[in-house]
Amino acid sequence: MNNSSVDASRFALVAHDARKDEIVEWVGLQQSRLSGVQIFSTGTTGSRIIKAFPELNVTCLKSGPLGGDQQIGAMICEEKLDALIFFVDPLSPMPHDVDVKALTRLATVYNLPMACSRSTADLIVNGLLDEDASTRA
């Protein structure tokens, strides 16, 4: 994995509906640092980010309930991601809850930096900027 700088990183950005405004706002706050990052998003989250920040490098996958979470999980297994920023809605039942659990489980299995909140997302961005901060293989 290439964790040497945030410019070379590949981030997955995902948010449930209740938190999509929040992830778009967070991307806005981190926009300059994310400008060199290759971003992969589930369909609706990615569309929202592209609409707000067309200059960012965003690849849209399937929508989460239609398999987007599993596509991101496959990227984690193949070590094609450096971080997962996943703003989960902990207050609503999800029809694809098994996919959500599988995704966060794989991030843990592969020791992938994962953030489910703004504060930890900031820490990941800050940590990946610091070459010496990474302890991943």
Ligand X SMILES: O=C(CO)COP(=O)(O)O
- Dist. CA 44–CA 42, nearest whole Å: 6
Alpha helices in 1-137 (DSSP H): 20-29, 31-34, 43-52, 68-77, 97-109, 118-129
CB of 86 closer than 8 Å to CB of 116: yes
3-state SS, residue 90: coil
Which range touches ligand X (CB under 6 A), out of 29-37, 39-47, 51-59, 73-81? 39-47
Residue placing its CB nearer to ligand X in the complex, 38 or 42:
42
Of positions 1, 43, 57, 117, contacts ligand X by CB under 6 A:
43
Annotated catalytic residue within 69, 89, 99, 130: 69
CB of 63 closer than 8 Å to CB of 42: yes
Feature table: binding site: 16, 20, 42-45, 63-64, 96
- Dist. CA 93–CA 27, nearest whole Å: 25
* Residues numbered 9-38 forming contacts with ligand X, rule: CB under 6 A: 14, 16
Write the binding mask 61 to 90 for ligand X: x where contact by CB under 6 A, - elsewhere: --xxx--xx---------------------
Active site annotation includes 17: no
Terminal Cα-to-Cα distance of the chain (whole angstroms): 7
Which range touches ligand X (CB under 6 A), out of 21-29, 31-39, 58-66, 127-135? 58-66
Cα–chain-centroid distance for residue 65?
16
Of positions 45, 70, 71, 104, contacts ligand X by CB under 6 A:
45
Residues identified as active-site: 69
Residues near ligand X (CB under 6 A): 14, 16, 42-45, 63-65, 68-69, 100
